[in-house]
Structure 1
Amino acid sequence: MQPRPDHKKFRHAPPRRSYPALLGSAALVVVAAATAALLNQTQGPADAHDSAAAALARAAVVAGNGPAKEAPPSQAPTAAASNAPAQKVVDYDFQFQPNYYYCGPASTRIALTSNGVNLSQDEIARKLGTTVSGTDSANDTTRALNSVLGKDVYQTRTIPGQKATDAEAGQLRQDVVRALSGGRAIVANIVGGARDAGGVWHEFPGGHYVTIVGYRDHGGTVQIADPSGMFGPRTYWMSTGAMANWVAARGYSA
Structure 2
Amino acid sequence: MNTALINAFRKYGIDRSMWRMLLGFAVAEGNNPSGNPTLGFVDYQLPGIGTDLDSHVKALADQLQYRLPVAGPFPASGTEYDQAKWMAVVVGQVGSPSDWQGNAQPSQAHYINSIVTNMPAQSEIDALGGKLVEKLLDYDRSIVPQETGYWCGPAATQVVLNTRGVVRAETDLARRIGTTTNGTNYVGLIEAVLDTELPDAWYTSVYLEQDPPTAVQKEALWNNLVNSINAGYGVVMNWVAPPSNYPRGVNGSVSPRYGGGTVYHYVACMGYREDGGFRSVWIADSGFQPQGYWISFDQCATLIPPKGYCFAAVPAPKPEEPKPPQDDFEKWMKSRTDRELIEWLVEQMGPGNPDWKSRGDTLRDKVWSL
TM-score range, shorter chain: 0.5 to 0.7
In the alignment, structure 2 segments of 5+ residues that lack a partner are: 1-131, 312-370
The alignment of Structure 1 onto Structure 2 pairs a total of residues equal to 168
Once the two structures are TM-superposed, the CA of residue 212 in structure 1 deviates from its matched residue by 0.3
Judged with a 3 Å threshold, the aligned counterparts in structure 2 of structure 1 residues 125 and 223 are, in CA distance, closer, same or farther, namely same
Match of 1:105 in 2: 154
In the alignment, structure 1 segments of 5+ residues that lack a partner are: 1-84
Root-mean-square deviation (Å): 2.0
Match of 2:267 in 1: 210
Q: Distance in 1 between matches of 2:272 and 2:285?
A: 15
- Would the aligned equivalents of 1:188 and 1:211 in 2 still touch at CA under 8 Å? yes
Q: Distance in 1 between matches of 2:223 and 2:255?
A: 25
Which has the higher Rg, Structure 1 or Structure 2? 2
Match of 1:65 in 2: none
- Out of 215, 225, 235, the residue aligned to residue 292 of structure 2 is 235
Match of 1:139 in 2: 188
- Would the aligned equivalents of 1:101 and 1:131 in 2 still touch at CA under 8 Å? yes
Amino acid at match of 2:135: K
Question: Is 1:248–2:297 an aligned residue pair?
Answer: no
- The Cα offsets for residues 40-79 of structure 1, whole Å up to 9 and x where unpaired, read as xxxxxxxxxxxxxxxxxxxxxxxxxxxxxxxxxxxxxxxx
Amino acid at match of 1:185: G
Judged with a 3 Å threshold, the aligned counterparts in structure 2 of structure 1 residues 152 and 114 are, in CA distance, closer, same or farther, namely closer
TM-score normalised according to structure 1 size: 0.62
Question: Is 1:148–2:197 an aligned residue pair?
Answer: yes
Question: SS of the residue aligned with 1:184?
Answer: coil
- The Cα offsets for residues 117-144 of structure 1, whole Å up to 9 and x where unpaired, read as 1101011111110111111111111111
- Would the aligned equivalents of 1:222 and 1:238 in 2 still touch at CA under 8 Å? yes
Larger proportion of helix = 2
* Dislocated runs of 4+, deviation >2 Å: 193-196, 198-204
Match of 2:135 in 1: 88
Match of 1:196 in 2: 249
Larger proportion of strand = 1
Greater shift in the superposed pair: 211-220 or 185-194: 211-220
Judged with a 3 Å threshold, the aligned counterparts in structure 2 of structure 1 residues 117 and 152 are, in CA distance, closer, same or farther, namely closer
Match of 2:178 in 1: 129
Once the two structures are TM-superposed, the CA of residue 200 in structure 1 deviates from its matched residue by 2.9
Question: SS of the residue aligned with 1:241?
Answer: helix
Q: Distance in 1 between matches of 2:295 and 2:235?
A: 14
Question: SS of the residue aligned with 2:133?
Answer: coil
Q: Distance in 1 between matches of 2:146 and 2:255?
A: 21
- Would the aligned equivalents of 1:172 and 1:240 in 2 still touch at CA under 8 Å? no
- Would the aligned equivalents of 1:168 and 1:244 in 2 still touch at CA under 8 Å? no
